[in-house]
Amino acid sequence: MNYQAVEHLLTQDARLLARRDSPVIDQEIEEQRQAALDLFFQWQDGMAQFQDLMPFVVILQRKVDLNRDLLRWERRHED
């Protein structure tokens, strides 16, 4: 997975998934997303390796894949 795909997963797909039950945020998904996002920023700053993100990315991508139809619907119905 390239860095653009990881960035999209963290800033778009996983973010939407964590907020699917708005106004209640899925704390488990959001905590995983925030931890991965922090590591992503560390990688951008040269303080972490890209492969350090992979355990987070695999888990989040699996959750997103399982909820893909829901995410598509939410994107179509965003304000």
Among 60, 68, 21, CA closest to 39: 60
Task: Say if residue 79's pLDDT is above 70.
Answer: no
Contacts of residue 53, defined as CB under 8 A and 6 or more positions apart, other chains included, come to 6, 36, 39, 40, 43
Nearest to 37 by CA among 20, 17, 12, 62: 12
Residue 22 has a pLDDT of 64
pLDDT band with cut points at 50, 70 and 90 for residue 8: very high
Q: Could you give the number of structural domains in the chain?
A: 1
pLDDT tens for residues 22-73?
A: 677 888 889 999 999 999 999 999 999 999 999 999 999 998 888 878 777 8
Residue 34 sits at the vertex; the CA angle it makes with 31 and 78, to the nearest 5 degrees, is 95
pTM of the model: 0.79
In terms of residue numbers, what domain contains 10?
A: 3-76
pLDDT at 25: 84
d(CA 18, CA 35): 13
